[in-house]
């Protein structure tokens, strides 16, 4: 089925003027995902914040109850015993100065970067490389931690990190179309609950303005944000 026909058949399943519950949207998205690959389930949330102000920044992480369906490749900055713990936990890249050099030279085969606190002097030099990709380790996200092994396990189990963009929007992949509709809904609800809990002190008025769910090739479905937003 051509991409255009797939999208049209997906839109035939929805009322574009209606806001659906998470459960309803998950069932429709599951039914509409007809691509030959396992499409990613994506959520986009438009927030009533201006992230240029520190008291309106929204960021955090949440463990998906059913994982994300994505293989997470992890890089860890650690030495000695901590490095061995990271390797044992399944980290694909582990090291110190030599790992920093690899990354400076273009290595990009990882989706998460974790560091033990004593390594931040080394990691700090990579800000211009890791920062734009949203990969800079941060204590608030649990990626700067003395327990690197636990952080690796958490990342590989399906933790999703989120951070609001300049336009006040958060995007994230929260599962795969091959998941049962109930599991898609559980992951979506967990993600939206985490966004709600991360509401910053400076947010005024309507916090969750618009929520959309879709699969990679499928139609966007509006979610009833009043069911989530407080």
Residues sharing a CB contact under 8 Å with residue 41, sequence separation 6 or more, in sequence order: 29, 173, 174, 175, 176, 177, 179, 184, 187, 188, 213, 214, 215
Question: Is 9's pLDDT higher than 60?
Answer: no
Task: Write out pLDDT tens, residues 127-171.
Answer: 999 999 989 999 988 999 999 999 999 999 999 999 999 899 999
| Fold classification of 16-58+164-227 (topology level) | Ribulose 1,5 Bisphosphate Carboxylase/Oxygenase (3.30.190)
Q: Are the folds of 16-58+164-227 and 74-157 the same? A: no
Q: Which residue has the tokens 């900055």?
A: 77
- Each domain of the chain, given as residue ranges in start order, spans 16-58+164-227, 74-157
Q: What is the mean pLDDT of the chain?
A: 91
Between helix 148-158 and helix 80-89 the angle, nearest 10°, is 20
Say which residue the tokens 């998205």 belong to: 29
Which residues sit opposite 87 in a β-bridge?
Answer: none
Q: The pTM is what?
A: 0.82
- Could you list the beta-strand ranges (E) of the chain: 40-47, 59-63, 74-77, 93-95, 112-115, 159-163, 169-176, 208-215, 221-223
Question: What average pLDDT does range 208-218 have in this prediction?
Answer: 93
Question: Is the domain defined by 74-157 classed in CATH 3.40.50.790?
Answer: yes
Rounded to whole angstroms, the Cα distance separating 98 from 101 reads 5
Q: How many CB atoms lie within 10 A of CB 51?
A: 20
């Amino acid at each position: 089925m051509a991409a255009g026909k797939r999208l049209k058949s997906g839109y035939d399943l929805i009322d574009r003027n209606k806001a659906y519950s998470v459960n309803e949207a998950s069932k429709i998205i599951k039914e509409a995902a007809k691509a030959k690959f396992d499409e990613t389930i994506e959520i986009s949330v438009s927030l009533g914040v201006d992230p240029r102000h520190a008291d309106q920044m929204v960021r955090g992480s949440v463990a998906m109850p059913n994982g994300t369906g994505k293989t997470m490749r992890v890089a860890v900055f650690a030495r000695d015993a901590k490095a061995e713990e990271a390797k044992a936990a399944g980290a694909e890249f582990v090291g110190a100065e030599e790992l920093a050099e690899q990354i400076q030279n273009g290595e990009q085969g990882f989706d998460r970067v974790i560091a033990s606190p004593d390594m931040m002097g080394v990691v700090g030099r990579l800000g211009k490389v890791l920062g734009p990709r949203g990969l800079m380790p941060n204590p608030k996200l649990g990626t700067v931690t003395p327990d690197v092994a636990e952080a690796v396990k958490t990342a590989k189990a399906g933790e999703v990190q989120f951070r609001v963009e300049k336009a006040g929007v958060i995007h994230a992949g929260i599962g795969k179309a091959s998941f049962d509709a109930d599991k898609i809904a559980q992951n979506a609800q967990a993600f939206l609950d985490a966004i709600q809990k991360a509401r910053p002190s400076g947010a005024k008025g309507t916090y969750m303005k618009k929520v959309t769910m879709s699969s990679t090739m499928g139609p966007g479905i509006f979610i009833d944000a009043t069911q989530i937003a407080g």
